[in-house]
Amino acid sequence: MSSIDGVGATGQVQEHLSTIADAVEGLCDSDLTGLSDAELTDTMRRLERSLRRTSAVGHNLIVETTERSLPGKLGHKSVNKLLIAVLRISAADASARVTAAKALGTWHALSGEQLPADLPDTAAAQRDGDIGADHARAIREVIRKIPHTVSSSDVAVAEQILAELARSATPEDVEKAGHNLLAHLNPDGNLTDDKDRKRLRGIRLGRQDTNLMTPISGHLDPETRALLDPILAKWARPGMNNPDDPESPTGSTEHPTVDRDQLAAAAGRDTRTAAQRNHDAFKEALRALLGSGVLGSHRGLPVTTIVTMTIDQLEQQTGVVTTASGGIVPIRDALTMAERAHPVLVLFDHNGRPLHLGRSKRLATADQRLALIAADRGCTRPGCDAPATMTAVHHVHDWSKGGTTDIAALTLGCDGCHALIHDGPGGWHTRTAPEGTEYAGRTEWIPPPHLDPDRKPGVNHRHHPKELLERARRKANARREAGMRRRGGSWPRGEARGGGSIADGLP
Ligand SMILES: [Zn+2]
């Protein structure tokens, strides 16, 4: 190591910075047109990994700046203010970086000794380039919500599981799995607290402004959200209830069946924002409610709230359940809704198989769809988060190629994902996972070569967060055991052997 700019630590840092600058300049000037499709996606992945690793360097720069009290020396009130002045970043960006550095940076004791990061496994995953800032934020949010009564060794294991999960999943997956982890750590289901929720709930209607518009703000409790979602799923979709488009199908009772071609054409013309579509749907829903009280059906099922729960959950009345529209409702609220609003209740046995399909009204054609909602819970393509209310029933094997209507050959897919299944370039294929494999019977999607050169079939864990947690738990244990062997038997951070009670007791 030598540098024209200096010697020792200074010289090394300068040399690394020059190397990065040269490499980036080289990449900026690179001709990308010569890359194959697979090389292009591989380049994206490798660049992303490097960018993620550099944010770990950013954390340590903030740590060093703070530890030597640089903001005060240079006349800034806080490290945030210094970052804004030096880097010309927004206040929100500065605050996010400082918060991340607090949890993930390598801090030092007064003696100069390195302290373990607040979230050591998350920090390690970011240094490896496996996770980005959004993953880390999702993990931090879950850890922040863990009740104070939970032991610190359980918190450490929870962080380890989430960090492991994040290495192979999206930030949204981490968030969803985190809800399950929290429900497990705090089995009364009061993720915040029932009292907090009662206090927070509210819809504020502001004064009509000079445009005669009314601002609205507030908080819906989980039950209200679960009631609203299925209505929006149908009435706020592009093309529906568009007041600017006379040809747009409306959700009124005069049009009980919507012409698919008409809707597709209207969706193509629809330039409204999602917020505007929600607003228009809300308006139509209120109108219909006031007019007739009938909300019609959505994809063959009554517009109502569908919740899934296990017999265990029903007996213990603890934890959270998911709705077919992807919402999360404390189980006690769900049971209250079942009494009052007659939603469709789908129950599972211990193995997750549909056990009982209870509903307020018998609909023979809806049975298959209900069973699929119970089993698949949403679109089955790996990584897709479209909830069941946004999906249609599809054949795992194309009908024209000999698919059957047997329930085992049917699956849920959203319209966008279903369109990806074809024999052309970039097309996906589906099949039923064979007996003897980990997810036998589930729908496997086989990605095109540009996404996975090995074309490894995968199932969608997005709607089954417990599967993700379970896999992450196994990997975290393996990683820790390997680490323990390297350290010659000492157990890190005072944790219980074998992963502690969270990891062992995951439902
Ligand atoms: Zn999908």
pLDDT at 360: 41
Split at pLDDT 50, 70, 90, the class of 290 is low
Q: How far, in Å, is the centroid of ligand 1 from the Cα of 328?
A: 19
- pLDDT level of residue 164 (50, 70, 90 thresholds): very high
- pLDDT confidence bin for 2, thresholds 50/70/90: very low
426 Cα: distance to centroid of ligand 1 (angstroms): 16
What are the angstrom distances between the C-alpha of 420 and each of 216, 268, 370, 426, 429? 39, 19, 24, 8, 8
In the prediction, which pLDDT does 359 show?
Answer: 43
390 alpha carbon – ligand 1 mean position (Å): 8
User: Are the C-beta atoms of residues 243 and 279 closer than 8 Å to each other?
Assistant: no
Centre of ligand 1 from the C-alpha of residue 413, in Å: 5
Question: How do residues 53-66 score in pLDDT, each as one tens digit?
Answer: 999 999 999 999 99
159 CA distance to ligand 1 centroid (A)? 29
Mean pLDDT of 251-267: 70
Residue-by-residue DSSP string for 8-67: HHHHHHHHHHHHHHHHHHHHHT--GGGS-HHHHHHHHHHHHHHHHHHHHHHHHHHHHHHH
Segment 9-38 shows an average pLDDT of: 92
User: With DSSP H G I counted as helix, E B as strand and the rest as coil, what are the percentages for the chain, rounded to 5?
Assistant: 50, 10, 40
Among the residue ranges 17-26, 108-117, 216-225, 498-507, the one predicted with the least confidence is: 498-507
| Dist. CA 182 → ligand 1 center (Å) | 27
Q: What mean pLDDT is predicted for residues 133-154?
A: 88
Rounded Cα distance between 479 and 474, Å, is 9
CA of 379 to the centre of ligand 1 (A): 5
Distance 271 CA to ligand 1 centre (A): 22
Find the mean pLDDT for residues 268-279: 88
What's the CA-to-centroid distance between 415 and ligand 1, angstroms? Answer: 7
Distance between alpha carbon 380 and the CA centroid of its chain, in Å?
15
To the nearest whole number, what is the mean pLDDT of the chain? 80
381 in Cβ contact with 460 (< 8 Å): yes
Q: Cα(506) to centroid of ligand 1, in Å?
A: 28
Outline where 68-170 has alpha helix (H).
Answer: 70-73, 79-87, 91-104, 120-127, 133-145, 152-166
Going from the Cα of 388 to the center of ligand 1, the distance in angstroms, rounded, reads 10
Q: Which residue has the higher pLDDT, 339 or 445?
A: 445
Residue 501 has a pLDDT of 45
The alpha carbon of 57 and the centre of ligand 1 are apart by a number of angstroms equal to 36
pLDDT of residue 497: 38
Cα 425 to averaged position of ligand 1 atoms, centre (Å): 19
Count of other CB atoms within 10 angstroms of residue 322: 25
Q: Is 48:133 a contact under the CB 8 Å cutoff?
A: no
Per residue in 186-236, pLDDT tens?
665 555 567 677 777 888 878 777 667 788 888 888 888 888 888 888 888
How many angstroms is it from 346 CA to the middle of ligand 1? 22
- Centre of ligand 1 to C-alpha 385, Å, is 7
Q: Using pLDDT thresholds of 50, 70 and 90, give the confidence band for residue 295.
A: low
383 C-alpha to center of ligand 1: Å? 8
| Residue, of 282 and 43, whose pLDDT is higher | 43
Ligand 1 centroid, distance to 420 Cα (angstroms): 9
Query: How remote is the CA of residue 395 from the centroid of ligand 1, in Å?
Result: 14
Average confidence (pLDDT) over 484-491 = 62
Cα 234 to ligand 1 centre (Å): 16
- Across 271-276, average pLDDT: 87
